[in-house]
């Protein structure tokens, strides 16, 4: 009886840990930044596109002119997006689809669109977005009030 | 015929006496609704939002009442566990429903451990459970502040600057939960006559109600009821009273943790150092407004309480502004009503208990006299 109880408890704990682990993988949020910017890779010069429209799940998330950046949020490790790229004025837009595998440890991923269209390796078009550190002059004040019942919304 | 006539007013008086608090609230609300000028759709939307936000938390109070431990002010411990879990989920950037599920899972062991400690202390303070659990929540609030304000970021890793204080350790006074905001409420949400119904959250609450109904019929549930009625009789019947009481507090704290995650995902913002301290008081006040007492509470009391208490919360500031020209007076009104209703319910409970005792004593005396005469 005791052994059975122990096994059930251990099973429940393992199940909860497994569910938690799954949630950490499928729920990991990333911000993907799309750059329509010039790039130089191993001597190869890649120019910007005149216009790039980025679609995620059929919804347009960015409309980029040269040197512009757009962004989209992504939950999970795989990310699919479609683009409609126009190289020069008067050209017909070309359609591309990409599936990315996003690194777990990186919050913000920058994708250089001219480089990914050109078929360069991942190291050329993917980089980590590092937010600028803004020095906060004033320390945030922490108010510890246990008796406050006057909040606006409960 | 005469007997019937005299018993009906007595019954009505007894009904009013037993349900004084909800009746009082119904009257206040009936007066405030026309004064406030809110449209029925707006009111219903607000009530539905608050029902889905608070009902699970209040349901967590039912089990300790069943076990005779009164109103569990220690539910604050579960709320703290949920906040710690949400801090981690936010810092690890787990978004949407997975973030909510992960926070619930992380909160469970923390709540269970805190509940276990709380239950053990309450066993050492039998008969004074409510005040003891209230003080435990203050004590644990200090520990929580130590962990969150000084250990997180220094000993416990916190990576992101939007969670961490600029000084490098400690968590900000407000944690942004935008990435999980209404993730649960948004799933299966339907619009019925202009009222947005968060169906999944409501289904979870209904599921919890069914679990409580089922739990009452289980062996453990029966044991809790027996312990709640008379500890000595329960002990004589072979029930492990202390263990049963601890289990009831552990279940309540764990449920409060899960309820707090549901509450905060609806709010979309977490006041790190104050959300939990208010929540116990609000939930208990709502339950009492619903007609519950220290030793008796039902699922019906939970829903009636949420509807009445929160409708008053919505109406009071506007009604106050219309009547006095100052919205702040309405704010004061709802604050003193919140505390006042708890005080009133506690006084009524004690008065009833004394009356019942006196009535029993008088009956016993009468029986003894009759026996002596024979």
* Contact between chains at A23 and B105 (C-beta distance less than 8 A): yes
What is the arithmetic mean of pLDDT over B239-257?
Answer: 95
Q: How far apart are CA B336 and CA B313, in angstroms?
A: 11
What is the arithmetic mean of pLDDT over B98-118?
Answer: 95
pLDDT of residue B1: 43
Q: How far apart are CA B344 and CA B350, in angstroms?
A: 10
DSSP-assigned beta bridge partners for residue A41: A44
Q: What are phi and psi of A142, to 5 degrees?
A: -100, 120
**Is pLDDT above 70 for B6?**
no
Most A CBs within 10 Å, among B47, B88, B94, to test the A interface: B94
Most A CBs within 10 Å, among B278, B306, B312, to test the A interface: B278
* Contact between chains at B173 and A16 (C-beta distance less than 8 A): no
What is the arithmetic mean of pLDDT over B270-275?
Answer: 90
> Which of these, B255, B263, B241, lies nearest to B112 by C-alpha position?
B255
List the single residue in A with minimal CA-CA distance to B54. Answer: A154
**Is pLDDT above 50 for B2?**
no
* 3-class secondary structure, A100: strand
Residues of A with CB below 8 A from B279's CB?
154
Q: Pick B93's closest partner by Cβ from A29, A145, A148.
A: A29
pLDDT in tens, B330-360: 777 777 776 777 788 778 777 887 888 888 8
Q: What are phi and psi of B21, to 5 degrees?
A: -65, -50
* Contact between chains at A75 and B101 (C-beta distance less than 8 A): no
Dig out the tokens for B357 from the structure. 């005792």
**Is pLDDT above 60 for A146?**
no
* C-alpha B90 chain-centroid distance: 25
**Is pLDDT above 90 for A40?**
no
What is the arithmetic mean of pLDDT over B121-148?
Answer: 92
List the single residue in B with minimal CA-CA distance to A17. Answer: B105
DSSP-assigned beta bridge partners for residue B244: none
Q: How far apart are CA B223 and CA B246, in angstroms?
A: 12
Domains along chain A? 25-128 (2.60.40)
* Contact between chains at B93 and A107 (C-beta distance less than 8 A): yes
Domains along chain B? 19-373 (1.10.3470)
> Which residues, other chains included, contact B159 with Cβ-Cβ below 8 Å and sequence gap of 6+?
B91
What is the arithmetic mean of pLDDT over B313-328?
Answer: 81
pLDDT in tens, B164-208: 998 889 999 999 999 999 999 989 889 998 899 999 999 999 999
**Is pLDDT above 70 for B236?**
yes
List the single residue in B with minimal CA-CA distance to A131. Answer: B161
Confidence band, pLDDT 50/70/90 cuts, at residue A145: low
**Is pLDDT above 50 for B269?**
yes
Query: What DSSP string runs through B121-189?
Result: HHHTTTT-HHHHHHHHHHHHHHHHHHIIIIIBTTTB----TTTB-TTSSSB-SEEE-TTTTTHHHHTTE
pLDDT in tens, A80-104: 999 998 888 888 888 999 999 999 9
> Which of these, B62, B65, B84, B47, lies nearest to B276 by C-alpha position?
B84
A45-54, B38-47, B295-304, B320-329: range with lowest mean pLDDT? B320-329
Average pLDDT score over chain B: 89
**Is pLDDT above 80 for B84?**
yes
List the single residue in B with minimal CA-CA distance to A75. Answer: B95
**Number of C-beta neighbours around residue A108 at 10 A:** 14
pLDDT of residue B359: 85
* Contact between chains at B282 and A24 (C-beta distance less than 8 A): no
pLDDT of residue A144: 65
- Cα-based distances in Å from B209 to A20, B76, B98, B146: 25, 21, 24, 36
Q: Pick B138's closest partner by Cβ from A20, A146, A153.
A: A146
pLDDT of residue A154: 61
Residues of A with CB below 8 A from B179's CB?
29
Dig out the tokens for B3 from the structure. 């007997």
List the single residue in B with minimal CA-CA distance to A138. Answer: B166
């Amino acid at each position: 009886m005791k052994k059975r109880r122990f096994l059930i408890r251990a099973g429940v704990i393992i199940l909860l840990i497994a569910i938690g682990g799954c949630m950490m993988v499928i729920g990991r949020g990333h911000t993907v930044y799309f750059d329509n910017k010039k790039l130089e890779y191993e001597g190869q010069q890649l120019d910007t596109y005149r216009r790039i429209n980025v679609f995620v799940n059929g919804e347009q998330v960015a409309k980029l002119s040269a040197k512009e950046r757009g962004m989209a949020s992504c939950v999970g490790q795989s990310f699919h997006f479609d683009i409609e790229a126009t190289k020069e004025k008067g050209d017909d837009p070309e359609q591309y689809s990409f599936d990315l595998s996003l690194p777990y440890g990186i919050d913000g991923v920058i994708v250089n669109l001219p480089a990914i269209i050109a078929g360069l390796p991942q190291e050329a078009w993917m980089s980590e977005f590092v937010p600028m550190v803004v020095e906060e002059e004033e320390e945030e004040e922490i108010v510890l009030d246990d008796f406050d019942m006057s909040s606006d919304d409960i | 015929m005469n007997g019937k006539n005299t018993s009906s007013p007595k019954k009505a008086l007894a009904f009013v006496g037993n349900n004084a608090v909800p009746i009082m609230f119904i009257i206040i609300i009936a007066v405030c609704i026309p004064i406030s000028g809110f449209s029925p759709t707006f009111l219903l939307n607000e009530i539905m939002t608050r029902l889905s936000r608070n009902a699970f938390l209040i349901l967590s109070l039912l089990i300790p009442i069943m076990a005779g431990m009164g109103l569990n002010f220690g539910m604050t411990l579960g709320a703290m566990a949920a906040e710690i879990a949400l801090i981690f989920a936010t810092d690890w950037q787990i978004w949407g429903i997975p973030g909510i599920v992960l926070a619930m899972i992380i909160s469970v062991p923390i709540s269970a451990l805190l509940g276990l400690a709380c239950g053990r202390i309450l066993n050492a303070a039998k008969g004074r459970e409510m005040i003891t659990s209230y003080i435990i929540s203050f004590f644990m609030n200090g520990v929580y502040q130590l962990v969150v304000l000084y250990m997180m970021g220094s000993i416990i890793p916190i990576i992101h600057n939007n969670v961490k204080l600029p000084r490098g350790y400690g968590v900000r006074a407000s944690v942004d939960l935008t990435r999980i905001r209404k993730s649960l409420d948004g799933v299966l949400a339907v619009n019925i006559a202009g009222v947005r119904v968060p169906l999944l959250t409501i289904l979870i609450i209904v599921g919890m109600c069914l679990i409580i109904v089922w739990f009452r019929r289980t062996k453990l549930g029966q044991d809790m009821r027996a312990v709640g009625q008379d500890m000595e009789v329960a002990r004589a019947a072979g029930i492990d009273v202390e263990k049963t009481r601890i289990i009831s507090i552990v279940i309540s704290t764990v449920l409060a943790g899960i309820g707090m995650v549901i509450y905060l995902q609806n709010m979309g913002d977490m006041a790190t150092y104050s959300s939990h301290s208010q929540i116990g008081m609000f939930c208990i006040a709502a339950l009492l407004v619903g007609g519950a007492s220290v030793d008796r509470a039902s699922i019906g009391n939970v829903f009636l309480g949420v509807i009445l208490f929160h409708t008053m919360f919505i109406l009071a500031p506007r009604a106050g502004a219309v009547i006095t020209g100052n919205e702040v007076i309405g704010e004061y009104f709802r604050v003193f009503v919140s505390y006042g209703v708890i005080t009133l319910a506690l006084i009524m409970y004690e008065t009833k208990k004394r009356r019942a005792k006196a009535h029993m004593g008088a009956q016993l005396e009468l029986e003894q006299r009759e026996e002596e005469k024979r």
